[in-house]
Every structure is written in structure tokens, then in C-alpha cells.
Structure 1
Amino acid sequence: MRRSGFAVRLACANADAFAAAATDTPVAVDAAGCGAILKEYGRLLEHTGSAGAGASLAARARDITELLATAGPRRGAPLGLRVAYDPPCHLLHAQRIADEPEAVLAAVPGIERVHHQDADLCCGSAGSYTFAQPDVSNRVLALKIAALRAAAPDVVVTGNPGCIMQIGAGLRSVGLDIPVVHPVELLDWSYERAGYYERD
């Protein structure tokens, strides 16, 4: 109970800080787990002094792929990579966001999409689950790594830092040197190759 009370106090401070900015612009979130909880602030903080600030922040929070898909991401240069997309649970199941990351990947020409078995299932990270239930977490991870090994991508893309670390560690543990990156990182590689960035 004390731990949840502390979490609520932190959430209130966070909501109040954003409210102090006095703007209604979207809040871009590049971590699916963070986005999932931010979008719950209206409910989580409804009985606190930060209820209004929490509801406002919840309404403004957007996954970065939502914002990019709405804007229509600029096409980059071809990368020539085999890409496996592993949707984070906090994005696909908690936030019900599926099409937007696909729109971001579609802005990267020259990639070959490879699909792995049960891509929509958890990688075993699940926030603190890696530490709280390491045996179960590792068993779930082993299934994910076996599926990715069979798909043989050049790069794995997923939109949550916990998943990036979990899948990356799992791949390295079986001797697979496959980078795991955020969708925006892949887009960045494509933009870099296209020469969109000014350099000194």
C-alpha cells in the first residue's frame, strides 16, 4: 500500500508539472509502458488534488508512432534490411495501437518485413516481471528468441525500452548479434542515409 501511495504522489507531481506548462499540445511518449500509464492518469488520479491535471495529461499523451502516423512520416532512403517487428504488450494490448507503428515502418523503403511466430505475445519483460519472476520471464523470453531465430531478421524493432533490453539480452545469450531498436531509430537510420540532417 505504501508503495502504491508513493507511486500516486509521483504521478501527481508529474501531472502537475505538465499542467504548469499551460499548453494543450500533445505529449510525445517513446516508451510504450510509460504511455500506457500516462493514458490512465485520469482514472488513477481522479480522487486526488491533481485530478484535473491528470485527466489533461492523459488526454494529451500520444505514442510517438501515433504522432508520426498522423503527420504522415516522410519517406527516407532504402535500408535493405530484413526487419522483424515485435509489438510491445503495453502498446498493442494496453493502448490498442497496432497500425501506427506499421505506418512508421512503411516510411522506410527497401526493408523486407519478416514475420515471426506469436509476435503479439509477451517477450517476458512486462515491466518489473524480469526481476519479480525471473524463471517465468526467461521461459517466455526463450519462446520469443526461438521465433526470432527462425525468422532470421537483420534487425528487430519494438517500441518499449524494457522489450528492447529483454529481447536484446535474449538474442545475445544465444549468440545472435541482431540489433534491437525502436521504430523511430530505424526511421532515423533511413533519414540519415537520405541526407535529411544538416551537419556542421
Structure 2
Amino acid sequence: MTETAVRDAYTERAPEYISLFGSVDKANEQDQGFIAHWAKSLLGQVVDVGCGPGHWTAFLTSLGADAEGVDIVPAFVQAAKARFPGTLFRVASFTDLGIHDGQIGGILAWYSLIHLRTEDLRSALGEFGRCLAPGGTLLMGFFEGTDGEAFPHAVTTAYLWSTDGMAARLARAGFEVLDVHTRTDPGGRPHAAMIARRKA
């Protein structure tokens, strides 16, 4: 999927998506705990890439993090600014975050890379590595499965990744994996979450 196609698909369904998923209270408690634990380790600014309705950005802010949310969908950014006026949000591409080299301490990419094909995923991870300071960390969530296998996501085509496959891609982008969590919720697709640190 191209970034334009993904943006258009989410723009069309933005109100529905915000209603269904725009609250941390609707997220799995394990995910809340995992993200909160990671947030406590951050040094410096954290950017929630693909922030969508902005709930995770606001969650990070509530924990004391210097957080900013970015998304490719202007409708999401507009709604996030209205819903969470005390948190910063802006429109930005996954492959051009508008951040200086090594400027930030953390990136949250919670299910925001699932629509990227292999070459686009490589570009996004490269941009994340460029923006993170040495020792900065990336926390990402994604659907686990056969590497690069497409499936009909409710909004638009998405892709599965194995934890080993994602770890290999992170290594090529200059990261080392620190932690991996997996689970399968009843009626849901297998879930994976990974924390990776940018090498010095």
C-alpha cells in the first residue's frame, strides 16, 4: 500500500475508527502495562508515530513523558488536537518525521507500520534510526505471522511479520532487540510487541 492510499482509507473511516479505538481504556491491559513500563525508561522526547486518534500520545503525556504524536492522516491529527489539547500533534510521513538526526529518546509505533510493504518498512525503520539518539528505544506493535503476508485488514490491506523476521529487519536498521511479547487474544490475530534500542 502506498502512503497516499493508506491516508485516504483512514480518512474515509476516521470518525468510526476514533469511536471504536480512540481510548486507552479500550486497549488490552497488558498493552497498557507494557507501554507504561517502557515509558518510564525514556530519556528525552518521545514521538508516537502513527498516533491515530492520539490516545496513546496522551497516555504517554499523562505518565510524564515529553510526547508528541504524528500521523499521515490530517483528520486524525485534527481530532487528536481537539480531544487532547494539552498534547502536541502534527501531520508527518513515516519516512520523513521532520526531526533532526539523533534528536529524540523514544518512538512508539503501535500498529502504525502494519500497512507498509517490505521496502516501505525498511525506509520507515531507517528514518526511526536516524531520528533516535544512540541508546534511544523503539516500541512497536504488529500482527504476528508469515513475513510479508498480506491480509484484509478492516480499513485497508495490512501485512504480517514474524518476531524473528522483524528482529532481522530491525538489526539491519541499526537496532538491537531488547524485549519481545507475544499473545493471541480470543477471536483475534496473534499479537507481537517489541522493544529495540538504537545502537551507538
Is the helix fraction higher in 1 or 2? 1
Larger Rg: 1
Which category of TM-score, normalised to the shorter sequence, fits these structures?
Answer: 0.3 to 0.5
**Bigger relative contact order (CA 8 A; separation at least 6):** 1
In the superposition, the TM-score normalised over structure 2's length comes to: 0.34
Is the strand fraction higher in 1 or 2? 2
